[in-house]
């Protein structure tokens, strides 16, 4: 499983709306919440909520410039998130290989028993 910090990171990027916000920040650098709201299919309030979650997970930081608040991606934390996702894929690969090994061994065992029964005399 994952640690508490990973869980936060995980749920922050697991939401497609937040991934969309993150995508926009990644490709456009420092931008404001209103700028983001003009480019997503959800409300300005929803954008603000997503930014709060992303900030809490450490993926995004804010800076005040004049009367505007600008948001940008935290590259190190994003790198961590990327690795967490790659780890998840690896984890499932390892599990599937283990399932394959167990199921094939169980099946081979059953076949052996059946062929012994067929012959009618155990060796």
Residues that bind other proteins (CB under 8 A): 1-3, 7, 10-11, 14-17, 19-20, 23, 26-27, 29, 41-43, 46, 73, 75, 78-79, 81-82, 85-86, 88-89, 92-93, 95-100, 102-104, 106-107, 110
Q: In terms of CB distance, is 52 or 106 closer to other proteins?
A: 106
β-pairing, 68-73 vs 60-65, is antiparallel
Smallest gap, in angstroms, from Cβ of residue 70 to other proteins? 14
Nearby residues of 70 by Cβ (< 8 Å), 6 or more positions away: 30, 31, 32, 62, 63, 64
User: Which token pair is 103?
Assistant: 């199921």
β-pairing, 68-73 vs 31-32, is antiparallel
105 vs 111: CA distance, rounded Å: 10
Q: In terms of CB distance, is 63 or 121 closer to other proteins?
A: 63
Nearest one of 18, 29, 23, 86 to 55, comparing CA atoms: 18
Q: In terms of CB distance, is 14 or 69 closer to other proteins?
A: 14
Q: In terms of CB distance, is 82 or 117 closer to other proteins?
A: 82
Smallest gap, in angstroms, from Cβ of residue 67 to other proteins? 25
């Amino acid at each position: 499983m994952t640690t508490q910090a990973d869980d936060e990171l995980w749920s922050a990027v697991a939401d497609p709306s937040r991934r969309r916000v993150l995508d926009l920040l990644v490709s456009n650098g420092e931008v404001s919440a209103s700028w983001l709201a003009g480019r997503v299919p959800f409300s300005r309030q929803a954008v603000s909520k997503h930014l709060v979650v992303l900030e809490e997970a450490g993926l995004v930081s804010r800076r005040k410039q004049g009367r505007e608040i600008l948001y940008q991606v935290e590259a190190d934390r994003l790198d961590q998130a990327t690795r967490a996702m790659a780890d998840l894929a690896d984890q499932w690969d390892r599990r599937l290989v283990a399932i394959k090994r167990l199921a094939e061994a169980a099946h081979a065992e059953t076949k052996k028993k059946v062929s012994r029964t067929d012959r009618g005399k155990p060796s």
